[in-house]
Amino acid sequence: MLQTLYDYFWWERLWLPVNLTWADLEDRDGRVYAKASDLYITLPLALLFLIVRYYFEFYVATPLAALLNVKEKTRLRAPANPTLEHFYLTSGKQPKQAEVELLSRQSGLSGRQVERWFRRRRNQDRPSLLKKFREASWRFTFYLIAFIAGMAVIVDKPWFYDMKKVWEGYPKQSTIPSQYWYYMIELSFYWSLLFSIASDVKRKDFKEQIIHHVATIILISFSWFANYIRAGTLIMALHDSSDYLLESAKMFNYAGWKNTCNNIFIIFAIVFIITRLVILPFWILHCTVVYPLELYPAFFGYYFFNSMMGVLQLLHIFWAYLILRMAHKFITGKLVEDERSDREETESSEGEEAVAGGGAKSRPLANGHPILSNNHRKND
């Protein structure tokens, strides 16, 4: 049974053009081809990434946060109350009015005290500013290095300048060590993001982030063993070109450097729009949708790959919409907040201001689609 499923999954007609078999892509005459088994190494590498990230955040990001004067806001903790805590963990974090009244009777507190308790308890669960800064620092470092490495891999290749050369000689295109390591490192990193997504800063687009990571992992994996490597390197480098800008903007946002954050945001928005809404659909997608049909009839792998690319493109349109909306508010001088992030709730309406650890709170940019704030503590 398992062997039958295995054989069907790796059936050549699913993944390769007509009249081509896996035997045709076996290493020979000094030519090395991509193999699915090459990807096994990405899982232990993903675990290694998580270990490296832990030490990076502790020994690099934390001192950097102190250097940039990233200050945390001291949060008022919710007093111990078994009744309210049980409801919070089992029934919900935001009780309705009827539930507030019931909890008030059960706990012996007034309705306002119950609401205050839940506000404080929700704030306790929100990620700290330092945690957000550490996460942004790690991603900034990886994306910047990956972008530089990716450009080094492709900038001297003829298909970087002529999209038709992506398919020249396909599918019998041998791989080189730089392509191998670029693929393994990128795929390992996205595996690590998927493994850590539950413990990372959680945004309101949590589901979209999971879809993005899964689609990216599938695309990278498929493009490797189906030998779409030339197109894959172009796509990965294009995505990395704007991601490090976003993460650096978030870092300065958490540090309260208003002008630096806003200027980087403007650059990021321009790069994101150009790469994700212009170059990707009109150059890269055109290259993967149109040019292959000049060489061979469409097959399942062709439809599968371009369908996954379509999913990513829809996510890019969704994020671009948020970017443009936030840019409009920023340009018009309106207060801009991160619409995906959970804002910390204040108690000023009840005369209970939390003690600040330094200045006004900064509002984080979102991971994947950035949001600015015009309400930072200081200028750079």
Same domain, 92 and 143: no
In whole angstroms, what is the distance from residue 255 CA to residue 102 CA? 42
pLDDT at residue 379 tops 50? no
To the nearest 10°, the Cα dihedral for 247, 248, 254, 257?
-150
Q: Is residue 248 part of a domain?
A: yes
Same domain, 102 and 197: no
Q: Is residue 3 part of a domain?
A: no
Distance of CA 227 to the CA centre of its chain: 25
Q: Is residue 132 part of a domain?
A: yes
Same domain, 224 and 328: yes
Please say which residue of 289, 316, 332 terminates a domain.
332
Question: Could you tell me what percent of the chain has a pLDDT over 90?
Answer: 43
Same domain, 134 and 120: no
CATH number of the domain to which 93 belongs: 1.10.10
Same domain, 116 and 256: no
In whole angstroms, what is the distance from residue 71 CA to residue 90 CA? 33
Concatenated DSSP letters for 282-300?
IIIHHHHHTGGGGTS---H
Do residues 300 and 334 make contact, with C-beta atoms less than 8 angstroms apart? no
Same domain, 103 and 191: no
Instruction: Specify the number of domains making up the chain.
Output: 2
Tell me the pLDDT tens digit for each residue of 42-100: 999 999 999 999 999 999 999 999 999 887 776 778 888 888 888 888 888 888 888 88
Same domain, 218 and 99: no
Tell me the pLDDT tens digit for each residue of 71-87: 777 677 888 888 888 88
User: Look-up: residue for tokens 């029934």?
Assistant: 91
Domain range enclosing 89: 82-125
Model's pTM, two decimal places?
0.78
Please say which residue of 297, 313, 332 terminates a domain.
332
Same domain, 289 and 326: yes
Please say which residue of 125, 160, 192 terminates a domain.
125
Q: Would you give the end-to-end CA distance of the chain in angstroms?
A: 64
